[in-house]
Amino acid sequence: DMKVTQMPRYLIKRMGENVLLECGQDMSHETMYWYRQDPGLGLQLIYISYDVDSNSEGDIPKGYRVSRKKREHFSLILDSAKTNQTSVYFCASSLANQAPLFGEGTRLSVL
Amino acid sequence: AQKVTQTQTSISVVEKTTVTMDCVYETRDSSYFLFWYKQTASGEIVFLIRQDSYKKENATVGHYSLNFQKPKSSIGLIITATQIEDSAVYFCAMREDMSGSFNKLTFGAGTRLAVCP
């Protein structure tokens, strides 16, 4: 069953704490994405990964970093989270030129 | 830089009618891919239909079809015989093929569709 899995689904953190969002897929997709979604702004690309250790910044990378040590796993890290990073984060994956498949999202609240 | 614009914030239609949602895009590439996604009330984002820029024929999948007008950089989504379950937010997205931003998928802000009985 083709699926992108995100963990955790819900997370509450205090300002200044570190945050780790995890994403997995078992389809051997080369490309993986991290997006954030805020009301009225659609989906904004944070980072894109083309394969293991081959990552590129998206449109809003500031305050985030990523890690991809295995093709099936892509992590988003917030070092010292800020309140304006409260959002819903989506991971997606795809083969080249195919429509990306999205995970269910992680709702992050930074207090 | 690529840009995708959906000017309709929300649309309301009566069940079983046809609705069109607009989307315009900006790109310098001659080759690109256009996608429409649906986000349900639960937050799930589902791929609906795509149009490759080099194809002249409009894509159709089930009761979804596209109105691709390349000279106008426009890709409209048409839903025929709408159902209550079509109520959702619809996103248009574009991916360029040739530029340095290979595989980067850019989304519009979305259009909220309400289908009423």
Burial degree of A82 (CB within 10 A; 0-12, 13-18, 19+): exposed
pLDDT, one tens digit per residue, over B73-104 is: 999 999 999 999 999 999 999 998 765 556 78
pLDDT of residue B102: 62
**Cβ burial B42-74 (10 Å sphere, 16+ → b, else e):** eeebebbbbbebeeeeebeeeebbbebeeeebe
What is the rounded distance in angstroms from the CA atom of residue A36 to the CA atom of residue A33? 10
B112 touches chain A (CB under 8 A): no
B44 touches chain A (CB under 8 A): yes
**Mean pLDDT of the region A4-20:** 97
Q: How many CA atoms lie within 13 A of A72 on its CB side?
A: 8
Mean pLDDT of chain A: 94
pLDDT, one tens digit per residue, over A70-89 is: 999 999 999 999 999 999 99
**Mean pLDDT of the region B26-50:** 94
Pairing type for strands A19-25 and A31-38 reads unpaired
Contact B47 A99 (CB under 8 A): yes
Contact B44 A40 (CB under 8 A): no
Residues of B in contact with A60 (CB under 8 A): none
Closest approach of chain A CAs to the CA of B59, in angstroms? 14
